Amino acid sequence: MKKIIKYVFADILRNKIVLGYTIFLLLISMSVFNLEDNSSKGLLSLLNIILIIVPLVSIIFSTIYIYNSAEFIELLVSQPLKRKHIWGSLFTGLAGSLSLSFLVGAGLPVMIYTPMDIGLVMTGMGLLLTVIFVAIAMFAAVITRDKAKGIGISIFLWLYFSLLFDGLVLFILFQFEDYPLEKFMVVASALNPIDLGRILILLKMDISALMGYTGAVFRDFFGTQSGFIIAIGILLSWIITTFWLSLRKFNRKDL
């Protein structure tokens, strides 16, 4: 398995898109911190990038990479290798290299320019979102043979998680205005890794009190040590579940 990871990793790092992504992130985060007069404002600008760009790039790049690696996968499958290992290696290679470029492009500047705990949470969330969306991409790529269709599914999933889901939540909120929805909101946030990541980051920033404004449910739940750990657990289970689903598909896939 290690050997395949090595080849996938080397192949992706040679890819100019990943390099471009790293430089793009680096440029944005440096300019955000240098142009904004206060670092908390810069942090907020960067928050949007982490919540929008990172999932987008992760999911699209991974989907395309999987499709472009069809030959490679075919070659490997005919070799004495476990499918689990092949798929796992692809996942590790993609998640690893994209995480690395996030770490270099955004993680480093964040760590340098912002207070320790916010920087850590922000970088951690960026990494988790990267990995989650690689897993989602692999799921999208494995359920259909058609590359165009697969990329379409990926873009739709990204749109769903970053926009449609929130629109749906807003809709529900106003439809059921008269009911206490705080608990529902906590559950809803667990159903969308982007929302959960955003809430966890916001809770670490001093505007967190605004979240508490809504009856404190978020702060009471996710703001505590155990709540934070639960939230991380939810995000990890997003990775595990999605990857496991895609692996199950891949194990039965005809090449």
Interacting residues with another protein (CB under 8 A): 3-4, 7, 11, 14, 38, 40-41, 44, 47-48, 51-52, 68-72, 74-83, 162-163, 166-167, 169-170, 173-174, 177, 181-182, 184-185, 188-189, 194-195, 198-199, 202, 206-216, 218, 251-255
Q: How far apart are CA 85 and CA 1, in angstroms?
A: 6
- Decide whether 226 or 254 has the Cβ nearer to another protein: 254
Q: What are the start-end ranges of the H helices in the chain?
A: 2-14, 16-35, 39-68, 70-77, 83-102, 108-113, 116-143, 147-159, 165-175, 182-190, 193-204, 208-212, 217-222, 225-251
Establish how many alpha carbons lie within 13 A of residue 59's alpha carbon, considering only the half-sphere containing its beta carbon: 29
- Decide whether 222 or 243 has the Cβ nearer to another protein: 222
Least CB distance to another protein at residue 38 (A): 6
Least CB distance to another protein at residue 165 (A): 8
Least CB distance to another protein at residue 18 (A): 13
- Decide whether 116 or 177 has the Cβ nearer to another protein: 177
Quickly count: other Cβ atoms within 10 Å of residue 231's Cβ: 23
Least CB distance to another protein at residue 150 (A): 18
- Residue 107 tokens read as 């993680």
- Decide whether 50 or 100 has the Cβ nearer to another protein: 50
DSSP state of 176: T
